[in-house]
Structure 1
Amino acid sequence: MTYTIETCRDEKKRFEGTIVRFNNVIVLLDPGWNGEGSYEECEEFWTQYISEVDIVLISQPTIECLGSYAMMFKQFLPHFRSRIQVYGTLPVSNLGRVNSVDLLTSVGILGPFSNAVMDLEDIESSFDLIETVKYSQTVDLKNKFDGLSLEAHNSGYAPGGTIWTIITSSEKILYAPRWNHTRDTILNSADLLDNTGNPTSSMMHPTSVITNLSIIGSAEPQRKRVEHFTDTMKRAIQMNNSLLVPVEVGGKLLEVLVLVNNFLYENMRGGLKYDIPVFLISYSRGRSLTYAKSMLEWLSSQVIKTWESRDNRSPFDVVSRLRIITPEELGGYTGQKICLVSEVDDILSQTINKLCSKDKVTIILTERHPNTPAQHPLRKLNDKWQQAIKNGSRSALDGNPISISDSMSLRIMKRTILNKKDAEKVREMIKTRNEVREKIIEEYTAKTNDKAQTKTILFDVDDESSDEEGVDSMDARGKNGSGNVKVEIPVDITSNDSVSTNEKHLMFPFHPAKLKSDDYGDVVNLKRFLPQEESYDQAQSLKQSYSNNDYDEDDDDDTYEVLDSRINKSKKRKTDHNPRKQENNDDISYLDPLKSDIYKRAIVETKVNIRCSLVYIDLTSIVNARSIAIIWPAIKPRKVIVLPSAAPVDNQVVVNLTKRNIDILVTEFNNSVEMDTSVKAIDISIDPSLDQLLNWQRISKSFTVAHVVGKLLTETDPKAPHREKVILKPLSNPLALHSGSSLRIGDVRLPELKRRLTAENHKAEFQGEGTLVIDGKVLVRKINDAETIVDGSPSDVFYKVKSAVSDMLANV
């Protein structure tokens, strides 16, 4: 099958996405945006493509991969409600909406502004439309799109990040723009390799791999980089500096928060009292943390076990030390602080303006974003770091903070509250806009219901599969069909072990444990049945929690305060912060113009004198150059397609892949490339005279094999005179048959081999998994389905076992 691939981008390099066109279906991959440009420019760009798109796949919850999606949904609502299907994992759906709220509010498209064109309901509706899938789940679309199916696999780059497998009747495409081969602080490694380091069978032999080489990971181990981050925090605090860490609230925030919590907890245990508040500055407030607490199964089990042992529910619980504020509220807090700041332009600019011109601050950059606009403060800070490296700064070359004392141009938002009359006009306009939206939703919901009723009439009403399909279809297209229906954000539901239930977990990825067995039964670990003593730290923590029970009745125990030996001060702190515990950290209704004041928004470019320390520590969870050159050849793709990016492609990686005989294609923006990597299949008929000469041998219940030598000829097909068929006929000269080494085909079944040898009075027993020992002299080891080893010194037993193994295979 021939298909084309094109990475589309507008002339101003703001909006982009990759389109894969098959004969019967067109797939849009990761519609991104860099935050520059307007709502109208987004609509103008995507208008030329949206009418042909059938499916949208989102691989990561980052702005790079879904920045345009919410605006596209608003602009082309009839297309999405009627025919376009959107797929992503649950974390992509949840964290993606958090990122979209921050980005769109930062540029004024969303929020309580007079010129805002979207509201919170648009964001919720767009991400509710995403059909969430689990890892390794197959989305069967073969009936609708002639053989198409989709599979999601863990990418290890961001929570819920996905490597999409697009399978057609003749193609198997891996879409892996961002992935990581190793486990990081909170995420497991990508599904490309299994636990033994070998390629996963489901990923092997794709016809094409679509990837991005604009960002290459650090060669330094992840553990070393985390230690560097922790040491930098410690030095900054000892120097009486505040910390400012820009993060993407739907991505790197979760990992950085775990690292900060680990740092404070370990120092508390070591007797170092760092009484420093941690601030999260974001328009979406604490929604990303709430989502994270409901999606622990999508994270690494190691981080969960670590925090369970600390008598805490998860590292994302909001405790008294963590405060969720807006940039305007930051000025009311003095002294040292740790600020985790959403890296969108508006919030980061306001935070730098308030902190870096007054306090002693250390800024820690943790990621590279090649698509960041030139006027973005994150880009300017990164440029200063790169310039220091080029100038040969010893501190920068050693990875230590550099001092900055310079003026920086920042775009600061100024807002003025509208008078009552103008505010009412804006509200009336919003209500009219919402009525149009609800009318469109109701119209397409009614059409969906009619289709569901038609299915019920055409098929058996009692057929469970038909009922489930109807319900799924109504749920996918009919969400928010009425304005009176409450919008529910999809979250994972944890089943209580104490309650007996037959319901299945629909959202959690489940990987069954592999049990080892031998002739005597299942192999078990006896240590699991022995009583375990509590560690001293756990016993002390439990004892202290009991002793503090009279004044601490809240479930949200602060781990740091439980460890604090100064009980009286701990009591006072808890009493002071009790009113905060009643706050709703997920409430973003202040962004709804119908429920809050309405402002006129203006951007003022301001020059700010900043004095701070700056350091870049690469915490990006992405594969390094050496691993790319090893893993992709091990997967054995026929072609690797490199997507274009704002940053240049790493040519050394391309050279390394080429040296390993990988056919690699580097594409360009807005250039459609035709791909034809499928294997041509030819139907060959065996001539009856040749069929009588063949010796067919059965290798299983369903397959037979024979050694064939002949010549191919084309003849006119009597059933279709306009077509020719290929026939294999015997050679006219039998001497032309050449003799060569024989090939044995089949499957060696060790239990059956054991029965045969035992019947011949040999002692055969299993020792370990996949190893059969005969008379203590000969080993038969099955490496995989295609390789079996007979090991032993030459003897009668050795040759007898070798003969028994050969008899189980067909010889061709």
Structure 2
Amino acid sequence: MFTFNPLLGAQSPSRASQSLLEFSGGIKILVDVGWDESFNAWDLQELEKHVNTLSIILLTHPTLTHIGAYAHCCKHVPGFSRIPVYATTPVVNLGRTLMLDLYGSSPLTASTLSFGSLLPVSEAESDRASLLLQPPTPEEIASYFGLINPLKYSQPHQPIPSPFSPSLSGLTITAYSAGHTLGGTIWHIQHGLESIVYAADWNLARERFLPAAAWLSSGSGILDPLHRPTALICSSRGVEREERLTVDTRNDTLISLIRDTIAQGGKVLIPTDSSARVLELAYVLNQHWRSNVDGPHSSTYKNTKIYMASRSSSTTLRYLQSMLEWMDGQITRDAEAAITQGQGAGGAVNPLDWKFVRPIEKQTQVERALARSKPCVLLTSDTTIEWGFSRQALESLASDAKNLIILTEQSQQGGGSRAGVGRRLWDLYQDSQGSTAGQNGTKVVDASGATVDIRDAAPEPLNDEETAVYQQYLARQRQMHSTLQGDNTLLDGTGAGMGDDQASESSESSDEDEDAEHQGRALKLSAQLTSNKRKVGALTDKELGIDILLRGKAVHDYDVRNKRGRERMFPFLPRRSRDDDFGDVIKPEEYLRADEKDEGEALDVTGEQESTSVGQKRKWDDSTVSKKNARGDKAGNKRAKVEPSAKKDRAPDAIDALIAKATGEAKAGTGGANGAGAADDQSSDSEESEYEPDDAAPSYIGPQKVVFTTRALQLDLRIAYVDFTGLYRLNDMKSLIGNINPRKLIVTAGDEHETQTLATACREAEGGQAVQGETFTPRTGECVDASVDTNAWTVKLTRGLMKRLRWSHAPGGLEVVALAGKLEAGGEEEAAAAAEESSAAKKKLKLIKGEGASSGAGSEGNPTLPILDLVSAHQTHHQRTQPLRVGDLSLPQIREAVQRQGHTAEFRGGGTLLVDGTVVVRKSPVTGGIEVEAGNSGFGLPHWRTRGPDGRANTEGTFYAVKQLIYDRLAVVIGA
């Protein structure tokens, strides 16, 4: 059984991609955790319902639309980080840099909750402000991506299921190159009879930096594992693009537009992503600058700088040095030659030497680059011009008609009703009748007089009513996740949105020998949290279920009759393990010096510090003693406390000098360091300063909301468009679909018109290239059954029949057997077992709908499994089945086996294998079986001949021997 459920992005203007694949046995695979530029947390609500049933997660591309919500779910969705995640190494590395750029550039617009979904407010008020969830820190992002299991291309892997998933039963996943991005993946998923190919955002064309999709193998048509799948899941995004440009023509058009602009003294802005398609753009520009910096227009190129502006651009370029094998083959060979021969006079040039591309990561660096009087090219994040440096660059360049902005993709409407800046610029380009410039008649639009709406965001604290609503939302999230996961998460105060330090401290159980000075603070904090839970989001006895034995007052009994699963067991709150990969977690407070402990003791439970001065003795009056008792301090002879203000007046020691040297900050009394810094400033270029102050990091103290204000931006610059999306076109799919020959096709990840266009083209392809099976076009949230056989049945075998079975091993790790038996109706025991298996699914469905666990949830409505038993002796009148050979051999496997026997075998056109020049082996495009044909010289004795005196192999008997070799590698199934 195989069902497909698109959670986001199917026949929708939103570009976010999330797909749920479910196989028999309760195996659920989530492919991609995408998001769009709206960053609305409510879009992930459907995903949260399936978290506690997911087996594994697969990621395809390191882009916002495929991986944007991963860090958010790890932080705010309980249990999500426990699910095994699989991706290629570039997707892991570049996805990490994307998250660092996203949350570093726009922490205000990431992870928001609209007030319209929580309060009965008007639509205008809902668009004006949204609740702001706490974004993950860089350390948390690094830890989340450290959990991902990296894979290589063409490497079959049997994944490990999540703790709350059933056995994967031989599930195999394999990654193949998808093009479009570095490490982009086409996933092949094999489970039983189901062979699923998930291809999202692939590119059949080979680019300069990125390889092409791995649909075609060398000399034998479609790659064998991707041929004839039971279901092909394909994205439809971008299939309607009109113009068809080759890679060389596209690059020449881009260079022509840039050259014309910088020759007039203008600046060029190219909004793109921060870790995927930007690499292809940067590589093309870097190579062009390298080849023309000493040419006839050398002065123009020398004075024009290329900036790669994102919060993680340096990290992205650094990661590329270790991902050489994932790039285009020509780049790999050139880089290896440069490393071997060495660069310089007569040596090869390393293509990964980003000499002419300067990464900038800080706002001050972007301001300095925009303020230069000389022309420049800026590759900025992001394409929507909503959250990255592209917004700042557009505001600076909009007032000069010499400047040019080049759009690299057709902007979509997005997830919300509001059109972003990128969408507005695309509409201006589409609606205007611009002049042509450069090569290939590229249209350039003069946007003088047009305006676009810019939406600014600012954080503000919540008022009393908004705070109450926010806490109710957190209580509902904790309740839902606790009940669905079947554990005691509800009791520990952790849940969605609990990102502050106090919540995390209260969730960890303290050791029995914890210091007494921390007990008072912990008790007070626990009391405050318990009080908040009683006031906000209180749960009824029915909602608590079996947990009432722990949370209810004076409740010592609970009726477990007719209950199932967790409701039959006494609740148990396990002690949280406080250890890491190196053993027990070390508490720094246990190793404090005496004076450091005194400083901590100087703070009472309200956070106020007692006023004492250096050298002053404590006054052991009644008030002081009462405060010490409240903190749980036992000792009364502590040393005198030192105020922080007094410590700042001391002379700097050696440690301070080291810190000042590392950070570049001048300390009092270190005049030598100041002199060195002045000398460095004089020697460096004024425009390329080595030191840049860090951007002020926003502080998140308590729950906040983000308030949006809209203003108009006057445009005077020019707009052009060059297709750099790197996606396949409709003609590419038409040429491949007949060779792939899927039994069923599922079209997803596109708007309604794109989806219907691709589905219609695949159904009506000419020349026998149309899809022979059924084509599905589901909408978001619509589940479709795409099993290879929708009439499959499940039966239960008796022990006697199981002992008579003789299994045969088939290629691909499968075992097959032929048997004869009789079907009988299942008894009461079988019915009870079937009801037990489906009770968990029923209970989850009811809890999602807000219903309690029904005491009558049992076998009602569950069909019993039929039993397959042995045929008695007096009933054995059936005809014995003939031996059957089953299995699936690929042509490369046959070629390897033939060559081991000492004969020649080579691939020829049309996906055929020629053995000894006389026997042809091919796979039938209809049935998938192996066909063997031979000429007159190929027939002979049915065995291999040894080599002759001249060393050449004797081809006598090649036809029969090839067939025998194939038979030996298939499983023989004989009727039982």
State TM-score, norm by structure 2.
Answer: 0.55
What is the CA distance between 1:357 and its match in structure 2?
0.9
Aligned position for 2:386: 345
Counterpart selection for 2:31 from 22, 29, 32: 29
Residues 37-96 of structure 1 show CA distances to partners (whole Å, capped at 9, x for unaligned) of 555x466564434333332221110001112111111102x4034x32222222212211
Aligned position for 1:786: 930
- 2:170 corresponds to 1:152: no
Aligned position for 1:317: 354
Q: Secondary structure at the match of 1:95?
A: helix
Cα contact 1:407–1:610 (8 A) shared by 2: yes
Q: Secondary structure at the match of 2:742?
A: coil
Evaluate the alpha carbon distance shift between residue 297 and residue 796 of structure 1 in structure 2; reply closer, same or farther with a 3 A threshold.
Answer: closer
Aligned position for 1:96: 95
Cα contact 2:234–2:747 (8 A) shared by 1: yes
5 Å-filtered alignment, 1:340-419, equals 340-343=379-382, 344-346=385-387, 347-358=389-400, 360-370=402-412, 372=414, 374-388=418-432, 398-411=441-454, 413=456
Evaluate the alpha carbon distance shift between residue 6 and residue 752 of structure 1 in structure 2; reply closer, same or farther with a 3 A threshold.
Answer: closer
What is the CA distance between 1:210 and its match in structure 2?
1.3
Counterpart selection for 1:663 from 771, 774, 796: 774
Q: Secondary structure at the match of 2:251?
A: helix
Cα contact 2:413–2:420 (8 A) shared by 1: no
Task: Write 1 or 2 for the structure with the bigger share of strand.
Answer: 1
5 Å-filtered alignment, 1:552-567, equals none
Aligned position for 1:246: 271
5 Å-filtered alignment, 1:256-275, equals 256-273=281-298, 274=301, 275=303
Aligned position for 1:228: 253
5 Å-filtered alignment, 1:41-190, equals 41=42, 46-76=47-77, 78-81=78-81, 83-109=82-108, 117-118=134-135, 119-137=137-155, 138-141=157-160, 144-190=167-213
Evaluate the alpha carbon distance shift between residue 15 and residue 145 of structure 1 in structure 2; reply closer, same or farther with a 3 A threshold.
Answer: same
What is the CA distance between 1:229 and its match in structure 2?
1.6
What is the CA distance between 1:653 and its match in structure 2?
3.0
AA paired with 2:761? N
Cα contact 1:257–1:316 (8 A) shared by 2: no
- Rg (Cα) greater in structure: 2
Residues 651-694 of structure 1 show CA distances to partners (whole Å, capped at 9, x for unaligned) of 443223113124211111122223322485999x9xxxxxxxxx
5 Å-filtered alignment, 1:750-761, equals none
Evaluate the alpha carbon distance shift between residue 135 and residue 674 of structure 1 in structure 2; reply closer, same or farther with a 3 A threshold.
Answer: same
Residues 527-546 of structure 1 show CA distances to partners (whole Å, capped at 9, x for unaligned) of xxxxxxxxxxxxxxxxxxxx
Aligned position for 2:664: none
Evaluate the alpha carbon distance shift between residue 414 and residue 79 of structure 1 in structure 2; reply closer, same or farther with a 3 A threshold.
Answer: closer
AA paired with 2:226? M
Residues 762-811 of structure 1 show CA distances to partners (whole Å, capped at 9, x for unaligned) of xx9859787666xxxx84455679344534699999xx978663476479
State TM-score, norm by structure 1.
Answer: 0.65
- 2:500 corresponds to 1:433: yes
Counterpart selection for 1:201 from 224, 233, 236: 224
Cα contact 2:261–2:402 (8 A) shared by 1: no
5 Å-filtered alignment, 1:519-598, equals 576-577=684-685, 590=695, 592-593=697-698
Aligned position for 2:747: 642
CA–CA distance in 1 between the matches of 2:106 and 2:776?
A: 36
What is the CA distance between 1:315 and its match in structure 2?
3.2
What is the CA distance between 1:281 and its match in structure 2?
2.2
Evaluate the alpha carbon distance shift between residue 313 and residue 604 of structure 1 in structure 2; reply closer, same or farther with a 3 A threshold.
Answer: farther
CA–CA distance in 2 between the matches of 1:755 and 1:148?
A: 31
Residues 330-360 of structure 1 show CA distances to partners (whole Å, capped at 9, x for unaligned) of 4432221111111151332221110121362
Evaluate the alpha carbon distance shift between residue 168 and residue 575 of structure 1 in structure 2; reply closer, same or farther with a 3 A threshold.
Answer: same
Q: Secondary structure at the match of 1:32?
A: coil
Q: Secondary structure at the match of 1:195?
A: coil
Evaluate the alpha carbon distance shift between residue 772 and residue 298 of structure 1 in structure 2; reply closer, same or farther with a 3 A threshold.
Answer: closer
- 2:335 corresponds to 1:333: no
CA–CA distance in 1 between the matches of 2:956 and 2:228?
A: 32
CA–CA distance in 2 between the matches of 1:574 and 1:681?
A: 81
Residues 112-139 of structure 1 show CA distances to partners (whole Å, capped at 9, x for unaligned) of x996712323322222222222222313
Evaluate the alpha carbon distance shift between residue 409 and residue 480 of structure 1 in structure 2; reply closer, same or farther with a 3 A threshold.
Answer: farther
CA–CA distance in 2 between the matches of 1:182 and 1:656?
A: 20
Cα contact 1:279–1:324 (8 A) shared by 2: no
Cα contact 2:933–2:959 (8 A) shared by 1: no
Cα contact 2:56–2:84 (8 A) shared by 1: yes
Q: Secondary structure at the match of 1:125?
A: helix
Residues 241-264 of structure 1 show CA distances to partners (whole Å, capped at 9, x for unaligned) of 211111101111111111111121
Q: Which moved more, 1:362-371 or 1:134-143?
A: 134-143
Q: Secondary structure at the match of 2:180?
A: coil
CA–CA distance in 1 between the matches of 2:290 and 2:955?
A: 61
Aligned position for 1:282: 310
CA–CA distance in 2 between the matches of 1:754 and 1:70?
A: 50
Aligned position for 1:511: none
AA paired with 1:63? L
Residues 381-407 of structure 1 show CA distances to partners (whole Å, capped at 9, x for unaligned) of 11122223xx69767993232222133
CA–CA distance in 2 between the matches of 1:277 and 1:755?
A: 58
Residues 685-728 of structure 1 show CA distances to partners (whole Å, capped at 9, x for unaligned) of 9xxxxxxxxxxxxx99x99x9xx9xxx99677999996457999
Aligned position for 2:613: none
Cα contact 1:120–1:591 (8 A) shared by 2: no
Q: Secondary structure at the match of 1:225?
A: helix
Cα contact 1:292–1:316 (8 A) shared by 2: no
Cα contact 2:334–2:351 (8 A) shared by 1: no
Q: Secondary structure at the match of 2:451?
A: strand
Q: Identity of counterpart residues, as a percentage?
A: 20
Evaluate the alpha carbon distance shift between residue 349 and residue 746 of structure 1 in structure 2; reply closer, same or farther with a 3 A threshold.
Answer: closer
What is the CA distance between 1:98 and its match in structure 2?
2.2
Evaluate the alpha carbon distance shift between residue 803 and residue 178 of structure 1 in structure 2; reply closer, same or farther with a 3 A threshold.
Answer: same
AA paired with 1:61? P
CA–CA distance in 1 between the matches of 2:458 and 2:104?
A: 13
CA–CA distance in 2 between the matches of 1:417 and 1:140?
A: 45
Aligned position for 2:946: none
Evaluate the alpha carbon distance shift between residue 358 and residue 125 of structure 1 in structure 2; reply closer, same or farther with a 3 A threshold.
Answer: same
Aligned position for 1:688: none
CA–CA distance in 2 between the matches of 1:140 and 1:319?
A: 42
- 2:822 corresponds to 1:805: no
Cα contact 1:225–1:617 (8 A) shared by 2: yes
AA paired with 1:262? Q
CA–CA distance in 2 between the matches of 1:323 and 1:603?
A: 28
Cα contact 1:214–1:647 (8 A) shared by 2: no
Structure 1: 5+ residue runs without aligned partners? Answer: 419-429, 444-473, 486-571, 686-698, 733-744, 757-763
CA–CA distance in 2 between the matches of 1:752 and 1:95?
A: 41
AA paired with 2:151? V
What is the CA distance between 1:156 and its match in structure 2?
0.8
AA paired with 2:142? E
Cα contact 2:305–2:376 (8 A) shared by 1: yes
